[in-house]
Structure 1
Amino acid sequence: MMTMGRGIALALVLLTSACGDADPPPANETAAAKASRPNPFHERLTALNETDRGLTLRRAVQDNGGSCPRFLTSGFQEDYQGLKMWTLRCEGNRDWAIFVGASGRVQTRTCADNAKLGLPACRFPEAAGN
C-alpha cells in the first residue's frame, strides 16, 4: 500500500514532469495513432489502488483551482483526442473530468462544463445496491 507521502510525491511527479519535454505531435496524426501513443502517466494512475488514484486525481483538481473536499470514486473513462480521460466524483455533487496527456500535462474540467465545451460526458459506475 502506498503511503500518503508517496501518493503526494507521485501526484507531484505526474503534474510537473512534462515541462518542455516533448515535441508537439504531427498535425496529421490520426486519433487512433494518438490513442496508441504510450502514456506512462496514465499507466501509473492505472497501477494505483482506488485510494491513491483518487487522492492523486483530487490533487490535480485542486492544483488547477478546483474544489474536491473528499473524493468518493474515480476511474478511467476513455481516450479522447490523444488524452486519457479520467473521472473523479467528489463529495457535494462535484464531478470532474481529468485529461492526462502523454507528456504529463493535466487538464481538469467540471463534468457540467464538458457538454458546453463539446467534451465527452462524464460516466460513473452505478453505486452497489442501485
Structure 2
Amino acid sequence: MRIAAVFALAGAIGLTACNSEPSAPPTKIKVHSEAQEQLHKASGLNRAIGLKRAIYDTGARCQRVTRTGYVGEYKNLDIWMASCADGRDWAIFIGPDGSAQVRDCKDVAAVGLPKCVIKSDEAGAEPVTNSSGE
C-alpha cells in the first residue's frame, strides 16, 4: 500500500512538471569593479595617467599618451585604448578585480580579440591635454 502511494505521488509530481512553463534562460551577471567605474568617470588627463601606468607596469614604453577612449567589453573585461606620441596604440583590458592586461593594438585582432576601435559614447575618445594645453 505504501509503495503504491509513493508511485502515485511521484506520478502526480511528474505530471505537474509537464504542465509547467519552460524555465527562463539564465541571467548574465556583470561584475564591475570600482577601478573600472573610475576609468569611465575620469577626465581625459586622469584616464591617460591610469592607462599609461598600466602600460609601464608591463615594461612597455609610452612617453606621452595623446588620446584615450573606451573600446568595449570582452567577456568580463573593459577594453580601453591609449595612443602614444610615438605612434603606438595600446589595448588595455581592465578586469573586475582591477587588474590590467596590455596588448599592442596591431596584435589584438590577429589573436581573435576585438579590434582597437574607440566607441563614440560618453566615455569616447578624448585628446589628452594638461593645464598648459600640451
TM-score (norm 2): 0.65
Counterpart check, 1:40 vs 2:28: no
Partner of 1:25: none
Separation of aligned partners in 2, 1:113 and 1:92: 17
Separation of aligned partners in 2, 1:112 and 1:99: 15
Counterpart check, 1:84 vs 2:62: no
1:39/1:33 CA distance change after superposition, 3 Å: farther
> What displacement does 1:95 show?
0.1
> What displacement does 1:38 show?
2.2
1:33/1:63 CA distance change after superposition, 3 Å: same
Partner of 2:48: 54
Identity score, percent? 34
Q: Which runs of 5+ in 2 are unaligned?
A: 1-25, 119-124, 128-134
Partner of 1:74: 68
After superposing on structure 2, the runs of 4+ consecutive aligned residues of structure 1 that deviate more than 6 Å are none
Instruction: State the aligned residue count.
Output: 96
Partner of 2:109: 115
Separation of aligned partners in 2, 1:93 and 1:33: 38
TM-score (norm 1): 0.67
Give the letter aligned to residue 87 of structure 1.
M
Structure 1 stretch displaced more, 39-48 or 85-94: 39-48
Pick the structure with greater CA Rg.
2
> What displacement does 1:126 show?
9.9
